[in-house]
Structure 1
Amino acid sequence: MKVAVVADSTTYLPEHILQAHDIYTIPLNVIIGDDIYKENEIDYTWYYDKMKELDELPTTSQPSIGDYILLLESLYREGYTDVLSLHLSAEISGTHQSAQAAAASVDGINVHVVDSGIAAAPLGFMAMYAAQNLKTKSIEEIIADLDLMKSKENMNAYFLVDTLTNLQKGGRLSNAQAMIGGLLKIKPILEFHDGKIVAIEKIRTQKKALQKIEALLQSEFEQHDQKSLTVCIIHANAKEFGEQIKKEFEEKFQDITFVLQEFGPVVGTHVGEGAIGIGYTNYPVDITGL
């Protein structure tokens, strides 16, 4: 048995990490006017600048089934018998469905499609965990681990966005109606619940919102051996802000490993420029070089 790990582009793992762990990428798409761009081929800075110029938000779409089939056929020719295919939450994207459809169209290779129920860094942690355990665990054991890993007890993420406007327009916020009335005046805190993005707090200032997130994390971190935790601060074209939060958290939680990442175009379109995400896992992931 030869197993390949495939993850969609919303892991936002850098190319050298993908190569080091033999993780294959299937990109989502961003559509600006009549032009379609594969997410992993877009310069992030260019994209955020472009988004500011537009009167309407770009749209995003899952990978085409054809692109996925081409990837699976390529892996089959390379001798792979099985594929572990990990994707952002099926509640917010059709990527999982596209992967399933492509898997049914290619003979000779077994494709195990995993719905992460989340996106961005936590999805990347899952892909890295799978890739790092291929030599010591069976594919069935890894799938079972991933099912436990994605539970809220072992992985979680919070997001702080400037406004809910992008998420509301893109239809990615499940309780948007409950938040209307102060869309442009609050600093909402978001969380994944059952694969859906839900606004859990309405707070008036960014400082207070970050304090609330810190309190939520403090409560969750106390339930774990902090030395086992890996936490990613994710920013949307706000590197200095992300670095500031990372430094502050490192000073407060000295036993935890923190890394910094950037939201790429697909997630960045929906959370908006300036958004911050904080995702973590207590599963052992080697993040050397990340």
Structure 2
Amino acid sequence: MKTAVLTDSTAYIPEDIREELDIHMVPLNVIFGDESYREEIDINTDEFYDKLKTSEELPKTSQPSIGYVAEKFEELAKEYDAVVAIHLSSGVSGTYQGSVAAADMVDGIKVYPYDSEISAMAQGFYVLEAAKMAKEGVGPEKIIERLDEIKKTNHAYFMVDELTNLHKGGRLSGTQAMIGSLLQVKPILHFVDGKIEPFEKIRTRKKALNRLRQLFDETASKGVQVEACVIHAKRLEEAKQWKKDLEEKYPNVTVAISHFGPVVGTHLGEGAIGLTWYEK
């Protein structure tokens, strides 16, 4: 059985890696006013953050249409017997449900939609593992079993640098945003049952970043093999320093660098930093 691996753009896997591992992608959309852009296709991350700075209103985001996803499955049916479709959490987007609906519209290929219950490179971990297994000829059921194993130790925490986007998006009252800015509150967020929830509110960026490292240390200090990734929103040099520091401190850890692209960046804003990892 020949198995394809498909994901959506919010995994933010670079195009060269997608090509190397035969990963297929459907884009989500970011909408400024009347203009809709497919992320990773019509707008890249740098263009998005530049546009965000001059936008008076927070852009909206939308999932790919069911018809678009169904067309993608039909294309894959010409070459593959099955497809494992790995999507961002159904708790924050309808993309996974759209994939389930699209699967019912297509003949000639068996579709295995998978809810990562997370996003960004924490979702990307599943995609990369699935793609490597598919290239080795592993079947879809075994791939899903492996993804469920990863899910048991997959952690992700995100620090929001400033509260403007959460406020603009209606997730924070004006008073809360003002007080948060005055006190330099840096919320740490995580996923609980597929939804983004506050984990801790911490004063100052430095303390919040130290807290992320403490959380990571609880796993890394055990000496197990850990796959990790620093995720950033326009903070590449800081992410590089994190990678260097973590790999020097923990010889059992491999650290990659990724980014928060347009759709996720709409909600987290520039300056956000995340750390995600799982035990290999």
Q: Distance in 1 between matches of 2:248 and 2:55?
A: 39
Q: Deviations over 1:98-138 (max 9, x none)?
A: 11111111122111100001111121110111111122533
Q: Deviations over 1:65-115 (max 9, x none)?
A: 1211111111112x3121100000000011101111111111221111000
* Other structure's SS at 1:117 match: coil
Q: What is the CA-CA distance between 1:187 and the residue it aligns to?
A: 0.7
Partner in structure 1 of residue 13 of structure 2: 13
Partner in structure 2 of residue 287 of structure 1: none
Partner in structure 1 of residue 82 of structure 2: 82
Q: How many residue pairs were aligned?
A: 274
Q: What is the CA-CA distance between 1:260 and the residue it aligns to?
A: 1.1
Partner in structure 2 of residue 206 of structure 1: 205
Structure 1's unaligned 5+ residue stretches are: 284-290
* Other structure's SS at 2:17 match: helix
| Paired residues of 2:83 and 2:140 also in contact (CA < 8 A) | no
* Other structure's SS at 1:250 match: helix
TM-score (norm 2): 0.92
1:40 aligns with 2:35: no
Q: What is the CA-CA distance between 1:157 and the residue it aligns to?
A: 0.6
Aligned positions of 1:180-219 closer than 5 A:
180=176, 182-184=179-181, 185-219=184-218
| Paired residues of 1:157 and 1:280 also in contact (CA < 8 A) | yes
Q: What is the CA-CA distance between 1:224 and the residue it aligns to?
A: 5.4
TM-score (norm 1): 0.89
Partner in structure 1 of residue 261 of structure 2: 264
Quick one: which amino acid aligns to residue 273 of structure 2?
A: I
Quick one: which amino acid aligns to residue 250 of structure 1?
A: E
Q: What is the CA-CA distance between 1:255 and the residue it aligns to?
A: 2.8
Runs of 4+ aligned residues of structure 1 deviating over 3 Å after TM superposition are 167-171, 179-183
Q: Percent identity?
A: 46
| Paired residues of 2:220 and 2:252 also in contact (CA < 8 A) | no
Q: Distance in 2 between matches of 1:165 and 1:192?
A: 21
Q: Deviations over 1:162-206 (max 9, x none)?
A: 1344235446x6xx68x9474323011111111111111111111
Q: 1:108 to 1:224 in 2, by over 3 A?
A: farther
* Other structure's SS at 1:63 match: coil
| Paired residues of 2:220 and 2:253 also in contact (CA < 8 A) | no
The RMSD of aligned alpha carbons is 1.8
Partner in structure 2 of residue 279 of structure 1: 276
Partner in structure 2 of residue 69 of structure 1: 70
Aligned positions of 1:85-234 closer than 5 A:
85-134=85-134, 135=136, 137-151=138-152, 154-167=153-166, 169-170=168-169, 180=176, 182-184=179-181, 185-223=184-222, 225=224, 228-234=225-231
* Other structure's SS at 1:133 match: helix
Q: Deviations over 1:258-287 (max 9, x none)?
A: 11111111111111001001111223xxxx
Structure 2's unaligned 5+ residue stretches are: none
| Paired residues of 1:224 and 1:282 also in contact (CA < 8 A) | no
* Other structure's SS at 1:183 match: helix
Quick one: which amino acid aligns to residue 97 of structure 2?
A: Q
